[in-house]
Structure 1
Amino acid sequence: MSYQVTVIGGGPSGLMAAIAAAEQGMKTLLLDKGKKLGTKLAISGGGRCNVTNRLPEDEVIRHLPGNGKFLYSPFSVFNNYDIIEFFEELGVGLKEEDHGRMFPVSNKAKDVVNALLNRLEELNVEIRTKTPVEAIHYGQDDHQIILQSKEKISTRSVVLAVGGKAVPHTGSTGDGYAWAKKAGHTITELFPTEVPLISKDSFIQEKTLQGLSLRDVNVSVLSKKNKPLITHRMDMLFTHFGLSGPAILRCSQFVVKEFMKGHRPVTIEIDCLPDRNEHSIIDEFYKQMNEQPRKSFRNIVKGIVPERLLDYLLQHISVKSGDKAANISNHQLRDFVNDLKHFQVSIHDSQPIEKAFVTGGGVSIKEIVPNTMQSKLMNRLYFCGEILDIHGYTGGYNITAAMVTGRVAGIHAAYEAMGT
């Protein structure tokens, strides 16, 4: 069989690429090894599908710390506002939530997936699911795709939209890296991002704080020289193996990059009271202790942090629950406030890439033409989505990068297939 454009991978970038190619009137084939298309979309945003983010372009790119600046060119062709318009034209109303996140009004990810599938059908895109690709043979005029069934498919343009290695049950198992290498591409080191972190600290091992959430705290990753590399203010969670929750997921790639430099363990520092400085907290407690010397120190400081953390911190400075304020030394008070502002956890590892939400690393962006997504090394070969060395925080940023690069790759794969 022969096609003008063949897209391999039915995630957000592949679906957008196939739609874009078919809208240019191309005979388009979409191949996916899974049973269903859009599996990752269907589970994103807790099953509600965080389609994109409405923040201004610069802000969106800032939330893609892994080579986000590469996206300025593709964004000039198709950007996050175009994604919103695209879905509204397909009949999927979107609503804005906190931090610019856009969700379907229905709160159902399947509405997003179905709108894309209906559009593919309208455009007569041939879809083959449960169709694994075994190899790609690149040629001068046509590329040949060899299926596992040994069937050969001839195509003018190929779009690789096969994802990374994160969330493998959705089909992202890293197949595309070998096909990219065969075309001469460099794959930068792969690593997990947006991933929970593992600690061997005794209080984690003993599950002292397991299940405890801290709200709106500052979480920093410290360098070897104890300087903050990055700080995120969000919620976090103590788990049976270490740390998780939004602030931790955002910090995780900076921890993993330190591991890659041979720095291990890496210190995470938590500031439980980011709006207050140490002096003002010490002064306030000191005043209360002088006014109520017979009151227990625990009752004076109660409510400043959740009780389980409070009890752990008091134990840390050797204060028992009944100890009176009058018996607390200045040294103990300073240590207590220091722990509130600089609670440190040693991170020894991260969960594996398969447990990560997003893959860091991938096909080097230096080898991709930014405004067309075409390979600089191979004619009519295009890359889009998570196979590229581009990654961001959760919040609609990765899906935005996938859809934008998919759309641009599909349009240009079509132009080249026409021979223009």
Structure 2
Amino acid sequence: MTYHVTVIGGGPSGLMAAIAAAEQGASVLLIEKGKKLGTKLAISGGGRCNVTNRLPEEEVIKHIPGNGKFLYSPFSVFNNYDIISFFEDLGVGLKEEDHGRMFPASNKAQDVVKALLAYLDRLHVEVRKETKVDAIQYGESGHTVHLDDSEKIRTKSLIIATGGKAVPHTGSTGDGYKWAKTAGHTITTLYPTEVPLLSKDAFIKDKKLQGVSLRDVNVSVLNRKSKPIITHKMDMLFTHFGISGPAVLRCSQFAVKEFMKGHRPVTIEIDALPEQSLEQLTETYLQKSKDHPKKTWKNTVKGVLPERMIDFLMEENGITPEETNAHLSKEQFHSFLKNLKYFHVSVHDSQPIEKAFVTGGGVSIKEVVPNTLQSKKMSRLYFCGEILDIHGYTGGYNITSALVTGNVAGMNAAWEGMSEG
């Protein structure tokens, strides 16, 4: 038998591609090397599955710093609002949380996966799990997929949806890159994004701030000239190896790109009180010091930051816990406040790509037709999801990109697979 469409990879984009192709009436085979389909969906959003984001299209694309503009074309066919309707039509009620993130009302990622699998079933998609692809032989009017048990599968159209190299225990181990190369595609440099950063700073090594989290702080990546490349205002966390938390994950790819240019270490600047300027802080605390000269400095700044951070900054500036406002030197006063606004961490590396949430780099988007996701190098070949050189921040943006590109690739692969040409 020759299938109209064969999809390799049972992650978010592969499932959506198989569904979209079958909705057009194509005969579809979905091949997955793992034991389960939708593994990444099941663990995303802390096991709650952040299926998409309700922000306006412009905003969503802004949150996909890795070639998000490429998605304007696919979005004109199927966008984040279509994803919401799609799941609601499948009986998965969704609810909106902060920053437009959409979750299943049940808070269970499993409900999303179950609904997709049940729909695949209703559409009569043939699914083969624990099935490994050994090689792909490309042809003019169709392709042959060679399985590692020597079976050959013929297909009119082929969709490669094998993911990147991040979170390898879900099956994303970079298999698809070699098949894309065989078809003549360029794979841009792969690097980790949405990844914790490593530091050798003495206070990190001594675990002085390990476990301290800061809320709503500005985290910036500085370039060689000490100017911010990017700033994100979110929470962050000090760890035993460096820094992590939402703001750091968002900034991480910009630090990694600096490492790739040979700029090491990179300075991360933390502004713990972004709502106030250094001038305003200075004025406030000069007044407080004047009004309460006998009060200790520690009690004067109490509550501004977690206590361990305050203790650490006092120690750094040679201020004892008993030191009163009257006895604080000018240098100590100004230097402490500066630390609140411009706290620096030197990072020399990130955790490896396997520990990242998202892969940067992949199949060059210059070689893929935006409104069909078809290869410009090989007829009847399509790509979708994280194998493409597209990556977003966490918050439903990568899954949105996967589902949108999957839908568009599936639909177009079906039309081509069923046409006689």
State the shift of 1:328 in Å. Answer: 1.1
**1:78 is matched with which residue?**
78
Aligned to 1:348, the other structure's residue is in SS state: strand
Q: Which amino acid aligns with 1:136?
A: I
**1:227 is matched with which residue?**
227
Distance in 2 (CA, whole Å) between partners of 1:295 and 1:94 is 52
**1:278 is matched with which residue?**
278
**2:358 is matched with which residue?**
358
Distance in 2 (CA, whole Å) between partners of 1:290 and 1:394 is 46
Tell me the TM-score normalised to structure 2 length: 0.99
Per mean C-alpha deviation after superposition, the further-off stretch among 90-99 and 284-293 is: 284-293
State the shift of 1:291 in Å. Answer: 2.2
State the shift of 1:292 in Å. Answer: 2.0
Q: Deviations over 1:239-287 (max 9, x none)?
A: 0000010000000000000000000000000000000011111111112
Aligned to 1:284, the other structure's residue is in SS state: helix
Distance in 2 (CA, whole Å) between partners of 1:328 and 1:40 is 54
**1:140 is matched with which residue?**
140
Distance in 2 (CA, whole Å) between partners of 1:42 and 1:31 is 18
**2:212 is matched with which residue?**
212
- Kindly report which structure 2 residues correspond to 1:20-419, keeping only aligned pairs within 5 A, or say none: 20-419=20-419
Distance in 2 (CA, whole Å) between partners of 1:162 and 1:139 is 21
State the shift of 1:10 in Å. Answer: 0.3
State the shift of 1:323 in Å. Answer: 1.2
RMSD of aligned C-alpha atoms? 0.7
Distance in 2 (CA, whole Å) between partners of 1:105 and 1:301 is 42
Q: Deviations over 1:300-358 (max 9, x none)?
A: 12211111000111111111111121111222111111000000000011000000000
Q: Deviations over 1:167-208 (max 9, x none)?
A: 000000000000000000000000000000100000000000
Distance in 1 (CA, whole Å) between partners of 2:300 and 2:116 is 58
Q: Deviations over 1:198-225 (max 9, x none)?
A: 0000000000000011001000000110
**1:12 is matched with which residue?**
12
Aligned to 2:172, the other structure's residue is in SS state: coil
Q: Which amino acid aligns with 1:379?
A: S
Distance in 2 (CA, whole Å) between partners of 1:371 and 1:288 is 61
Distance in 1 (CA, whole Å) between partners of 2:103 and 2:301 is 41
Q: Which amino acid aligns with 1:41?
A: L
Distance in 2 (CA, whole Å) between partners of 1:347 and 1:371 is 40
Distance in 2 (CA, whole Å) between partners of 1:280 and 1:84 is 45
State the shift of 1:398 in Å. Answer: 0.2
Identity %: 70
Distance in 2 (CA, whole Å) between partners of 1:192 and 1:355 is 8
Distance in 2 (CA, whole Å) between partners of 1:103 and 1:303 is 34
Aligned to 1:131, the other structure's residue is in SS state: coil
Aligned to 2:390, the other structure's residue is in SS state: coil
Distance in 1 (CA, whole Å) between partners of 2:258 and 2:393 is 18
Q: Which amino acid aligns with 1:333?
A: F
Distance in 2 (CA, whole Å) between partners of 1:153 and 1:303 is 65
Distance in 2 (CA, whole Å) between partners of 1:386 and 1:373 is 13
Distance in 1 (CA, whole Å) between partners of 2:271 and 2:49 is 32
Distance in 1 (CA, whole Å) between partners of 2:297 and 2:22 is 70
Count of aligned pairs between the two proteins: 420
Distance in 2 (CA, whole Å) between partners of 1:261 and 1:87 is 42
State the shift of 1:4 in Å. Answer: 0.9
Q: Which amino acid aligns with 2:57?
A: E
Runs of 4 or more consecutive aligned structure 1 residues displaced over 6 Å after TM superposition:
none
Distance in 1 (CA, whole Å) between partners of 2:299 and 2:105 is 46
Aligned to 1:400, the other structure's residue is in SS state: helix
Aligned to 2:264, the other structure's residue is in SS state: coil
Aligned to 1:91, the other structure's residue is in SS state: coil
Tell me the TM-score normalised to structure 1 length: 0.99
State the shift of 1:294 in Å. Answer: 2.0
Distance in 2 (CA, whole Å) between partners of 1:6 and 1:37 is 15
Which runs of no fewer than 5 residues in structure 2 stay unpaired?
A: none
